[in-house]
Structure 1
Amino acid sequence: MRHGMLSLLFATLLIAPALKAEETAPTVTPALADDGQRLAALEERLADSERQRAELHEQLQSQSSGEERDGALLTRLRQENQRLKLQLNKALAEQQPQWLDEQQQWFAAGGGVALVGTLFGALLRGRRKTRREWLN
C-alpha cells in the first residue's frame, strides 16, 4: 500500500469514535388533549369496520343462499339426467334389430333391379329362334 493511503486510513480510524449517531428522544404527546382525538378517531374506525363487517356478512349470507339454490338445482338436474338415461336404455332395448344396414340395403336393391331386368328381357324375347349373327 502507498504511504499516503495508509495515513488517510489511520486518520479516518482516529476520527471514527468521535462520529456517533445522534439519538432522538421519543415524541411525547400531551396526554389528555391527544387521547381525546385518538379516541374519537378510533371510534370512527371501529364504526367503519363494523359497517364493513355487516356488509360482508350480508354478502356471505346471500352467496350461501345462492349456493343452496344452485345445489338444489344441480341435484334436480342430475336426477333428471339419470331418468333420461334410463328412458334411453329402455328405448334402445325395445327397438327391433335391423336386418340390413344402409349399404346392404342398396346392394339388395341393385340385385333386385338386375333380376327384374333379366326376367323382363327374357319375357320380351319369347321362344322364337333367331339367328345370332354376332356369334358367327
Structure 2
Amino acid sequence: MHRLSLTLLLVLTPLCSALQAEESTLASPAATHITSQSSATQRIQELEAELGAAVQQRDELAGQLSSGLADRETAQVARLRQENQKLKLQLREALAKQQQSLFTETQTWYLAGAATALLGAAIGALLRGNRRRRQWLN
C-alpha cells in the first residue's frame, strides 16, 4: 500500500503543481486587468495634467507673441513716421532751392533768344547807317 500511495503521490504532485499554475494564470489576467486599468487611469490623469500645462504655456506664448508683434508694429510705425518727416524736410529743401533760381530753364532760353535778337537788330542798325553816309559822300 505504501507503494501505491507513493506512486499516487508522485503522479499527483506534478498534476497539482500544473493545476496551481493554471489557477494563477487564470487569476493573473483579472488582476493584471485591474492593475492595467488603474495604471491607465493614472496615465490618463498625468496626460491631462500635461495637456493643461501645455495649453497654459501655449496661451502664455501666444500672449507674448501678440505683445511682441504689437511692439514690433509700434516700432515700425515710429520708424516710418520719422522717415516721413525726413522726406518732407527734403521736399521743402528741394522746393526752396528750386524757388531760389530766378528763371526756369525755359525762361532762360527765351531771354537768351531775346538778347540775341536785340543784339542782331543793334548790329544791323549800325551797319545800315554806315551805307547811307557813303552814298552822301559820293
TM-score bucket (shorter structure): 0.3 to 0.5
TM-score (norm 2): 0.46
TM-score (norm 1): 0.47
Higher helix residue share: 2
